Amino acid sequence: MPKGNRFNDLCKELRDNILDSLNITDLSLFASASPIFHVNVDEYLYRRRLITFARYMNDVKRFIGLLQSSSSVVSGSSALNIIQARQGAVEINDLDVYTTLPNFEELVHFFKHSEGYKIMGNFHRPPPGRYNNTGIAKLLRLQKDERKVDIIVTNLASAVAPIFQFHNTAIMNFISAEAIFCAYPVWTLNMAGLIHPRMYKQNATNLATISGLAKYMKRGFNLCSDINELSPHVSRCIKTYNCPHTIRSTNDKGKIAWVFGNAGPHHSSSHSAAYIETGAVIWCLGGDQCENEEAAGAPSFVFAT
């Protein structure tokens, strides 16, 4: 009997309990074992995304359609929650939607007129705080009852780009219409992360970013400013995908991404699940040189191709 059939012979509650104990890397490995497992994982993650979005809206399918048509993404605690094993995942606080200047009005219209949200704040070039990234042009805060949605508008070419300026690598994740993406899975899924060097090299530290770092440390994340505390750098820099001086891409093999409806298990191993889009986002965390703290450091940058 094929091993996938044995899994499907289990009751739904038991199948869900098994999948709930796996993070996105484990789920990808599980899916690679058979086409039936792949279908199960795809349906499971699709269902988790629907449940996450349904906390904030009634018309989830229309919202996913808007994400696709506007190339917008959801990040923050919602994205971190879905890449973790559901058992023990971080609590979702609110919905953070990242979009671009040409597309934000359609999203605002959806939440105001279709979902009944009210705009509680409309900031141009947000003041120093949670969204003080250089690529943020506008922030709209919406609320309905206890539900809160932030629409963060970038003046960069890609809605994804500002995510790689976040204060630590543990939150460099996003959900799009097509995929779930994690930039630093080796650290993030082991409750660890590197504090972005721009926090202290480019004067990006303020009370809000310190509070944000403290929030994730309180949640159990081990956040470090020194790469040596997270990766072995004994006598020379080891240029892995985790090294802050490595130039990264949303299409490289250092990330993990689950692409919904992908053809089969050969696409879904823990490091090869493709996230292919028309224009990739390129970034480098930068900071001091690993092997010699007195040497000139590498710059931090992000841009969309």
Q: What residue type is 164 in one-letter code? A: F
Tokens 């799009």 found at = 176
Mean pLDDT of the chain: 86
- Number of helical (H) and strand (E) elements in the chain, helices listed first: 10, 13
Could you give the dihedral angle defined by the CA atoms of residues 291, 293, 294 and 300, in that order, rounded to the nearest 10 degrees?
100
Segments of the chain assigned E as strands? 73-75, 95-100, 118-124, 136-144, 147-154, 173-175, 179-182, 192-194, 222-224, 248-249, 256-259, 281-284, 301-304
Residue scoring higher pLDDT (97 or 289): 97
Amino acid making up residue 167: H
For the question of whether the overall pTM of this predicted structure is more than 0.85, the answer is: yes
Name the more confident of 8 and 170: 170
DSSP conformation class of 100: E
Burial class (CB in 10 A: 0-12, 13-18, 19+), 25: buried
Tell me the percentage of the chain whose pLDDT exceeds 70.
83
Beta-bridge partner residues of 140: 122, 151
Residue 171 tokens, joined:
């939150």
Q: Are 28 and 270 in contact (CB under 8 A)?
A: yes
pLDDT score recorded for residue 134: 66
CB within 8 Å of 115: residues ≥ 6 apart:
56, 57, 58, 59, 144
197-225, pLDDT tens digit by residue?
A: 887 766 666 777 788 888 899 999 999 98
Classify burial at 113, counting beta carbons within 10 Å of its beta carbon; exposed 0-12, middle 13-18, buried 19 or more: exposed
Question: Looking at the predicted structure, is the pLDDT value of residue 268 above 60?
Answer: no
pLDDT of residue 203: 64
Collapsing DSSP to helix, strand or coil, 249 comes out as strand
Residue 85 has a pLDDT of 97
| Res. 33: pLDDT tops 50 | yes
All residues at 6 or more sequence positions from 158 whose CB lies less than 8 Å from its CB, including other chains: 71, 100, 279, 281, 304
Check whether 8 has a pLDDT greater than 90: no
Q: What is the pLDDT of residue 200?
A: 74
For residues 270 and 29, the answer to whether their CB atoms sit within 8 Å is yes
